A and B are shown apart, each in its own frame.
Chain A
């Protein structure tokens, strides 16, 4: 707790209050491990502590009382009471503030059957407090909470070893728990957890330092909450702005409104629109409070482009130098939240950034044993299961891996009949060795004086693989037709990373379906089923070109005249 200074005026208070930042954290626990007491203690001890410093009310009867044993759980809803009353056991959001920060707590129950709630609370958290009862040590529930926190990408983990008073503040006991839990956390990729011995009941090391834990020299819980950086810094990541709505108040204004998912954008910066691939520059960054020279995540802004570009909701403005993946098929970790199980072949609606599409469950790759941290084969995912699935959407998704970008890597699945939210997904980095190589080839061009976007515009298309299965004659005709349109196009026996890196369209003609994988990150892949094409070869070529336009491979509104730059 910051030392109580001499009182300050309301004006000074307002100035400080204005400058506070915001940290969201989650807690999970059961009735007995002291979670409600911990939260009650935090709410109680911080309530008014900062505010009491205002000179005029410093001595008011409302200043906080001395701390001591008290049923702090009374300040929050007891889970027990909720259960008795049959109220949904659910995520509850609570708020408190200190001199430097406002905090939002997502308070969730910790048992297995509440995985859904834990994931919900964790989804927006910058920090998770994992509560361990010092008498009981590391329980399956502790592992479950850690696994879900890691899965949901919470950047900071605090392990609060509670009820230390009942272990006579034994350093040995505390260190034993730390020694057991730390390797498990490391296996989840949590490399810098904060272990803190506390007594929520007596308030030791929560806000004030405990007198009996002299051996502990680290920060108190509140000091930790106040000092960790807020979230992962997203301002240096590649720019992503999923367009929510197009604002056209008059003929002269066309603004693309949305919340910046990652990165920073400045007036004059080049941007690319996906999936069309059109490029332009930022003309202005518009807000009610005046135009900005730059904006960064997570601001909500409206962007005007220099060129007249068609952009709709669901499309994305991105930094052309590092575009997201564009693919209809994604592999994802999925938390299942529906009474009706997820099975292969089922169809759902997928809400991803500002886009809604249909998605089919292609494959269930496995189900996670949350406590052991291992995945095993499964044919379905049931309520509160976590698994890995492959989904195929009816439209290209514009995504980054969840661990790189929580906004563009997350989605929910919605039951198309019952409308409920059935699952929450975190997209995995597309993995294939060939892909890695091609990705590097693509990335090499970031240092080139010619940008990818400029190549796209000159070629009139984005790099892509086009699979025309079992019809070499059609593949050749398509190559000729695209060449005449000005495309950089080749028929090849297998995908070529170099050609794709150069921005080419590579037409592949395997004898059988799935002969090789052509899903290269950042490169579109279009599979054409010859069975649905018109019998007439010219019409078939036309249909294939229409498909490539539809899928955003061939860029519309772009002249195919060779030599024309941006």
Chain B
């Protein structure tokens, strides 16, 4: 070994930093691998939305050239847009992922819907209850999700590893300190950890990453002429399951979804953005909370925190 050459090497090796996207990617991959290594039965909660799409790509990267070593779980409320379900099935098959679907059979059979129950109760049954029960039934001890700290006030303090008791409940006063990149995944039987690898990503980061990595997303995110129902300021795509109120009729409007959810509860926005740069430009121009158009967060002050305590993501 020539000593001079070695020290020159070391010098030329110094001084590099990652771009923020690459730094976030490396951090998220580290988190996802920790989960695969430390838990017996992890699962990735796949909501089909843009954040889930990024999470899924990161999971692919974490285990490449192998496949993702845990299943994807979608909680089906039976009210999702058909394009979402189609995308879910096609994409998970294409990447060779093991897709599981969970739903609250009893509530679906009983005809749970937001019109009769109100959005809170409906969500409680079809999402939260379905999630908690599916996780418990499946014996999953860790569930990876795409939530971000910038989404909403109550999430700014969320841990990367969020401890849930045997009922799947979140206790904000009983969360573990998290230092460096050392995560504590110790749990007793029945307890679980929700893991948020995208904690430090912002909405702009998510879109930028989708753009840079050319990650496939549900076509509903792109603007297109679609049949909609106009209800006050809200633009509701007109699909099966959307009930017309007296005096309403569907019209064609060029619009897109900013966030995906159930047909009765997620609004579209009028938009011309039919490319990823277009979407990002629009995002910057609006700078509205991405959940503004989701009815559920308006139901009661701090409703997100209430739902989280109950086990919602």
Contact = CB atoms under 8 A, between A and B. Distances in A.
Given A244-B34, A257-B62, A447-B3, A54 B177 contact: no
23 contacts: A11-B277, A18-B21, A18-B212, A54-B284, A56-B281, A62-B286, A88-B172, A88-B173, A92-B157, A93-B200, A231-B17, A235-B13, A235-B16, A247-B63, A253-B65, A257-B63, A294-B13, A300-B27, A300-B33, A302-B64, A412-B184, A419-B186, A421-B184
Interface in B38-83: 60-67
A205 B184 CA distance: 40
A299 interface: yes
B207 to A, nearest CB: 10
Contact of A419 (B184, B285, B286): B184
Contact of A17 (B30, B177, B204): B204
A22 B186 contact: no
B219 to A, nearest CB: 21
Contacts of A249: 63, 65-67
Main secondary structure of the interface of A (DSSP, over half): mixed
Interface stretch (B100-108, B133-141, B148-156): B148-156
A287 B285 CA distance: 35
A175 interface: no
Contacts of A407: 180-181
Contacts of A93: 149, 156-157, 199-200
B116 interface: no
B8 to A, nearest CB: 12
Contact of A10 (B177, B179, B281): B281
Interface in A58-96: 60, 62, 77, 87-88, 90-95
B36 A116 contact: no
A7 to B, nearest CB: 12
Interface string A95-129: 10100011010000000000011011001100000
B211 interface: yes
A56 B66 CA distance: 44
Which residue, of A88, A93, A258, has the highest number of chain B Cβ atoms within 10 A?
A: A93
A23 B181 CA distance: 16
B18 interface: yes
Interface size class of B (residues with CB under 8 A): 35 or more
A349 interface: yes
Contacts of A235: 13-16
A421 B177 CA distance: 6
Nearest to A20: B20
Interface string B10-37: 1101111111111111110110011011
A51 B30 contact: no
A11 B208 CA distance: 11
A414 B184 contact: yes
A230 interface: yes
A235 B11 CA distance: 9
Contacts of A289: 61
A231 B202 CA distance: 21
B151 to A, nearest CB: 11
Interface string A409-451: 0111010000111001000000000000000000000010101
B299 interface: no
Interface string B270-304: 00000001101100111100000000000000000
B98 interface: no
Nearest to B13: A264
Given A101-B20, A235-B15, A247 B25 contact: no
B240 interface: no
Given A249-B66, A412-B184, A296 B281 contact: no
B233 interface: no
A161 interface: no
A88 B157 contact: yes
A424 B156 contact: no
Given A236-B14, A253-B65, A354 B37 contact: yes
Nearest to A76: B156
Contacts of B202: 95, 97, 102
Interface of A: 10-11, 13-14, 17-22, 47-48, 51, 54, 56-57, 60, 62, 77, 87-88, 90-95, 97, 101-102, 104, 116-117, 119-120, 123-124, 229-231, 233, 235-236, 244-245, 247-249, 253, 255, 257-259, 264, 286-289, 294, 296, 298-300, 302, 313, 337, 349, 351-352, 354, 406-407, 410-412, 414, 419-421, 424, 447, 449, 451
B92 interface: no
B156 A22 contact: no
Contacts of B37: 244-245, 313, 354
Contacts of B27: 259, 298, 300
B164 to A, nearest CB: 13
Nearest to A299: B26
Main secondary structure of the interface of B (DSSP, over half): helix
A288 B214 CA distance: 14
Contacts of A299: 18, 22, 26
B176 interface: yes
Which residue, of A117, A300, A447, has the highest number of chain B Cβ atoms within 10 A?
A: A300
Nearest to B284: A51
B178 interface: yes
A102 B173 contact: no
B21 to A, nearest CB: 6
B287 A120 contact: no
In the A-B complex, the 3 residue pairs with the closest CB atoms = A249-B66, A236-B14, A22-B20
Contacts of A230: 17
Contacts of A95: 149-150, 200, 202
Nearest to B57: A288
Which residue, of A17, A19, A229, A231, has the highest number of chain B Cβ atoms within 10 A?
A: A17
Nearest to A448: B1
B188 interface: yes
Which residue, of A91, A248, A449, has the highest number of chain B Cβ atoms within 10 A?
A: A91
A419 B26 CA distance: 27
A294 B10 CA distance: 13
Nearest to B61: A288
Contact of B179 (A120, A296, A419): A120
B310 interface: no
B163 to A, nearest CB: 8
A287 B213 CA distance: 14
A286 B200 contact: no
Given A93-B157, A95-B150, A259-B29, A22 B23 contact: yes
A236 B37 CA distance: 29
A449 to B, nearest CB: 6
A236 B287 CA distance: 40
Contact of B156 (A77, A119, A287): A77
B182 interface: yes
A558 B204 CA distance: 52
Contacts of B150: 94-95
B30 A244 contact: yes
A287 B64 contact: yes
Contacts of B167: none
B183 to A, nearest CB: 8
Given A10-B280, A286-B64, A414-B184, A22 B33 contact: no
A349 B25 CA distance: 29
A410 B182 contact: yes
B106 to A, nearest CB: 33
